[in-house]
Structure 1
Amino acid sequence: MTKRIKTYLLTGFLGAGKTTLLNHLLSRSKSELNYVIENEFGKSSVDAELVIKNYNKLFELNNGCICCSLDNELIEVLVQMIQADTLPDNLFIEASGVADAGQLASIFKREDVIQYFDFQQVVCMVDAENFEDRVQEVPEMFRQIVASDLILINKTDLVQEKYAESVKSEIESINPLAKTALTTFGKFDFDLFDSSAESILTKIDQSKLDAIKPAHRMKSIAMEVPFEFDRDQLYAVLSTSIFLYYHQLYRIKGFVKLKGEDQAVLVQSTGNKLTISNQYKKNESQKLVLIFIGRDIERKGIERLIHNAISSKLKASTI
């Protein structure tokens, strides 16, 4: 019988900690042959640069949301895998933050795919700090929770214990069939991950998922930034923007050069917090780009943010 590739789908809304979780799983499985599929919402990739290289091959799908427009491209990648001389032991798929996990996982229920891929489970990362605000306004996040087998409520160190427990209770009411756990920095009891229970997608009524129609007004705008920023000014402009437009601008991530620093730095936001960090794998040819993901955002507004961040005088940012 043909060896079947164990397949895991990592899902969760923007900034929940999927790449950190992926790195934990790859580190744990580094003695095995691991393939990774990285998908980002938009044509530019940042997350692939942040994956620790405990994998044997990485595929990037960056033309859109993996749940819809990339179905054919995903199948093409799967075909490449099964044609390899040696099949991987594991396939980890990190879907975009707005992916439809149920629709994506359904690909692995196809008879022609089942022959080669042994779908294990959908793991959903939830940002405890931003869950309450996002779950009501973002249908994609709700669908991800409903379709998941294991839900990890991450960043619990940033909220009170009582609040984290209330988030856990609400998630369990949304999806009573899933296993749930509170986590910090994506660390959790791997016994939950190793469970061989049948995927939840075989137990739930797909029509219930289909009834939750995403109001897809999300956009991803990539801006090349081939110039040097002042660290304080960049931080002030971007952090002010995500605070003022918290319900519109969901995620900023990318690499920039700062005055007085040799290496590009990683800029990323989660919720209303912005970080500028040197802690990532260095790549001298790293493309300098900032990616903005949000609801109803426009390129002209993003261009104004960049202009404010490089202008000589600090200005209030507007979208």
Structure 2
Amino acid sequence: MVSQKISVHILTGFLGSGKTTLLNQLLTFHQGKINYVIENEFGSTSIDSDLVKKNYNQLFELNNGCICCSLDQELIEVLEQLILMENLPDQLFIEASGVADAGMIAAIFKREGVMQYFDLKAVIAMVDAESFEDRLLEIPEISRQLVAADHILINKIDQVKPAYGADLKIQVSQINPFANIYLCEFGYIDYQVFEKKEKISRFTSLSSNKDITSLGHGMKSIAVSVPEPFDKEKFYAALSVTMFLHYHQIYRIKGFVKFEDSDEPVLIQSTGNKLTFSKLNFSITESPNLVLVFIGKNIERHSLEKILNRTLLIA
């Protein structure tokens, strides 16, 4: 285990949403640190790398469009190069291509061997306020990018009417109820928000047994109450297999459950196709509701409840 892990920020968003502008501003904001950049282009010719200002110490390019599947190993090889360098970077910024699956990129940083050296701070998604609704209907990758994000920046807000910007914020929050959402121009906000630890109190009052469907894109958020303790091994196996078989439908899982070996609630969340458990310290007054939220397309409550019921300790 290294004494100081490399902080990682993943920037995602469809073509033209403002990712490179945001990257340049983040690099300026973090001047004085050792910053490395990975650029992921769609196609064999790099363009964005020429647009990135030279406020970094080294830049790597992956030019096959999507850091997942075929480029999974290539990214791992770059990460191996980083940790073997004499002067380790303080931070790594990854600008994913407009069609990349941000959840699958983030999942790489949840692997045990990778987590020894890298600390995934945030997945940041950019949204083009002018073209968002049209793109959302045409491009399925946008929904995945939004659902995977910890922070969502609705950019170019100066190009639309204020009332429309407020409406977009509501639409985006329906797609991803977990993310912090900001309206901005030229990708600018107070970037210190990316460094703050997530306040778990945001999730302690999740409402159960409620479906939220956003109009126009078919995304659905289903919250399932889970008051009974689970068999941990059955739970992990069932949800892992479900995500693997139904990855085209289930985009994200997040919430709190209890296992038979403890009375403490555990935070469950999926990153790409990887499921992670986190034990947290709660006071009696802030103990969270035991609820799991599933986000995806064409998902149904009865199917999800059937999967969960098979893993209950009392079953």
Q: What TM-score does the superposition give when structure 2 sets the normalisation length?
A: 0.64
Partner residue in 2 for 1:191: 192
| C-alpha contact (below 8 Å) 2:151/2:181 kept by paired residues | yes
Partner residue in 1 for 2:214: none
Partner residue in 1 for 2:248: 211
Partner residue in 2 for 1:221: none
| C-alpha contact (below 8 Å) 2:121/2:194 kept by paired residues | no
Please give the alpha-carbon distance, in whole angstroms, between the structure 1 residues aligned to 2:55 and 2:44: 24
Please give the alpha-carbon distance, in whole angstroms, between the structure 2 residues aligned to 1:37 and 1:198: 29
Please give the alpha-carbon distance, in whole angstroms, between the structure 1 residues aligned to 2:199 and 2:161: 34
Equivalent runs, 1:147-226 vs 2, <5 Å: 147-197=148-198, 207=243, 210-212=247-249
Q: Which amino acid aligns with 1:211?
A: H
Partner residue in 2 for 1:137: 138
Please give the alpha-carbon distance, in whole angstroms, between the structure 1 residues aligned to 2:168 and 2:28: 29
| C-alpha contact (below 8 Å) 1:122/1:148 kept by paired residues | yes
Matched, 1:116 2:153: no
What is the deviation of 1:198? Answer: 8.1
SS of alignment partner, residue 143 of structure 1? helix
Partner residue in 1 for 2:37: 36
Instruction: Give the count of matched residue pairs.
Output: 212
Q: Which amino acid aligns with 1:128?
A: A
Q: Which runs of 5 or more residues in structure 1 are unaligned?
A: 215-319
What is the deviation of 1:212? Answer: 3.8
The sequence identity of aligned pairs, in percent, is: 56
Q: Which amino acid aligns with 2:35?
A: N
SS of alignment partner, residue 197 of structure 1? coil
Q: What TM-score does the superposition give when structure 1 sets the normalisation length?
A: 0.63
Partner residue in 2 for 1:88: 89
Equivalent runs, 1:1-319 vs 2, <5 Å: 1-2=1-2, 3-197=4-198, 207=243, 210-212=247-249
What is the deviation of 1:195? Answer: 1.6
What is the deviation of 1:86? Answer: 1.1
What is the deviation of 1:189? Answer: 1.9
Please give the alpha-carbon distance, in whole angstroms, between the structure 1 residues aligned to 2:90 and 2:129: 32
Q: Which runs of 5 or more residues in structure 2 are unaligned?
A: 203-220, 222-238, 252-315
Deviation readout 1:48-81 (Å, 9 max, x if unpaired): 0000111000000002311232111000000000
- The farther-off stretch of 29-38 and 205-214 is 205-214
SS of alignment partner, residue 10 of structure 1? strand
Please give the alpha-carbon distance, in whole angstroms, between the structure 2 residues aligned to 1:193 and 1:115: 21
Please give the alpha-carbon distance, in whole angstroms, between the structure 1 residues aligned to 2:101 and 2:68: 5
Q: Which amino acid aligns with 1:74?
A: L
